Amino acid sequence: MAEYNTMEMMICAAARYLEDGAAVAVGTGAPCAAAMLAQKTHSPNLVIIFEAGGVAPILPTMPISVGDSRTFHKAIMASGMCDVMETMQRGMVDYCFLGGAQIDMYGNLNSSVIGEWSRPKVRFPGSGGANDFGSFAWRIMVITPQDSRRFVERVDFITTPGYLDGPGAREKAGLAPGTGPYKVITNMAVMGFDPETKRMRIESVHKGYTVKDVQDNTGFELLVSPELEETPEPTEEELRVLREEVDPHRYIIGR
């Protein structure tokens, strides 16, 4: 098995969840690399959507922003932000990739403030399109480091709704049934969500880590899937495509 780093592991693990023919809304960085890897390997008909309006481009190289001209390269549509958000509202986007400074056991994300809203210790950029993406895409995916400062019992501010406070809460808030957090991919594990309680649970652990390692780096109690497994390592072909075609200059995988 070829050697790989943490970022390569996370990107390869995330890419495998994007099936052929699905639609995924992404930003730049690791989520974009995962979508590109999926498109160049097992999902040639993956529809990649960027917030600034690029729909289904064939990405030649890694874009540096959602408005980069490469996000429109050979796209089927060069639209705008309103069109993309309306497409999300119509329920036509299967996946979105999001991140944040904090995430809790129900998959709620905070990318706004640490501390009180009126007197924050730290203020972040805020929602951008994250609230819209997380509210209207069918499945939310997150790539983030495993750290107890990020994985907190209660987020300081809900920028993007996960399952809010548990079963039925999204529906009560007016969001479509069946939507919500799907996978959280970290440097240690892949987490999903229990279908009954909507709480985060460990589904697979990366090679070299244990359930205890994951729990020790989480600020709340994680559930453990009864089908717990070891995350498959990146294949030589995945690594070749990632290194030679997706990110040859190592902008992302070199971090």
* Residues marked as catalytic: 51
3-state secondary structure of 186: coil
Q: Looking at the chain, how many residues does it have?
A: 255
Contact (CB, 8 A) for 164 and 173: yes
Q: How would you write 29-51 as a 3-class SS string?
A: CHHHHHHHHHHHCCCCCCEEEEC
- Residue ranges of E strands in the chain: 23-26, 47-50, 54-55, 77-78, 95-98, 102-103, 109-110, 113-115, 120-123, 139-143, 180-185, 189-193, 200-205, 223-230
Task: Say how far apart CA 141 and CA 91 lie, in whole Å.
Answer: 16
